[in-house]
Amino acid sequence: MNDYLAGLTTEEINQKTKMIDECTTEQMLRLLNEEDAKVPAAVAEVIPEIAQAVDICYRKLKAGGRMLYVGAGTSGRLGVLDASECPPTFGVDPELVQGHIAGGDIALRVAVEGFEDKEEEGVALIERCGVTDKDAVIGISASGSAAFVIAGLRQASKLGAATIGVTNNRRSKLEAVCDVCIAPVVGPEVIMGSTRLKAGTAQKLVLNMLSTSTMVKLGKTYDNLMVDLKASNLKLYDRSIRIIQEATGVEQGLAKVYLERASMNCKLAILMIRTGMNAENAALALARTEGSLKAAIRTSAQAL
């Protein structure tokens, strides 16, 4: 028996759900719901560590670096999910926030469990990605023991990158190779060891906080509006129009006109309406403020 694994909180037996196979459907669902309700409190306890990680990611991205999620199994899939949502939500290049899973993209659909034990694959991934001291690498492992993730973080650290760990056990192996370790402890799972449940939910919340807060600090929102979204389909086009209306107070028809004039760039359209600038000058104003819409509006108002 592996003494390390046997001692993990995520591997313990949940005494409250031992008879789940004898429950009615509703009783079973209530047990799951009651256990899930513990997750936000566990995440709240580690907000200081999440804040440290956000500040690291912000500094790296602002200086031209990247965020790279590295994980295996459920943890890897969650990293890929969070990374893949950043371009449509915040209008960033797909290379800026990346998600990588042990076993490659096929592991997103089919379990490739053995790869999480391969240290050499973790090292090779970091090398293939060209990680440098400009980057932040976030390793995700519920147990904190995935060799693929640990080796990847260790190699990233050697290359000067910032390293952040997301796990669900305290004093894990992962912690030893991280600059910052985020460890929301959610307790034993409803089904013993099934970390796709509470542990996975906690990881999803943490990754939401990491990417969203980093992007907000980078000026990717105006108030709480996602002004850097890409109007790449009908839903996002409609959302862009509503965002422009909310930010400027104009009618729908005028919002559509300005979105067209701004080449479907929601942020640019808002700045044009708020300042009276044409698209070219508005783009220059945004460039001078590193993409911050509020700063561009303030600067333009001061210049009048």
Closest to 216 (Cα-Cα) out of 81, 57, 46: 57
Closest to 177 (Cα-Cα) out of 156, 206, 201, 203: 156
Tell me which residues are annotated as active site: 85, 116
CATH class of this structure's domain 234-303: mainly alpha
What span, in angstroms and rounded, lies between the C-alpha atoms of 151 and 177?
9
Q: Could you please report the per-residue DSSP string of 176-200?
A: GG-SEEE-----S-SSTT-TTTHHH
* pLDDT for position 113: 72
For 265, half-sphere exposure in the C-beta direction (CA atoms, 13 angstrom radius) is: 19
Strands 67-71 and 136-140: parallel
Instruction: Identify the helix (H) or strand (E) that includes residue 87.
Output: helix 73-90
Residue-level length of the chain: 304
* pLDDT for position 304: 54
* pLDDT for position 56: 98
Q: What is the CATH number of domain 3-217?
A: 3.40.50.10490
* pLDDT for position 232: 80
Q: Tokens 């000067």: give the residue.
A: 160
Strands 180-182 and 136-140: unpaired
Phi and psi (nearest 5°) for 146? -60, 115
Low-confidence ranges of the chain (pLDDT < 50): 1
What span, in angstroms and rounded, lies between the C-alpha atoms of 236 and 291?
20
Domain boundaries, the chain: 3-217, 234-303
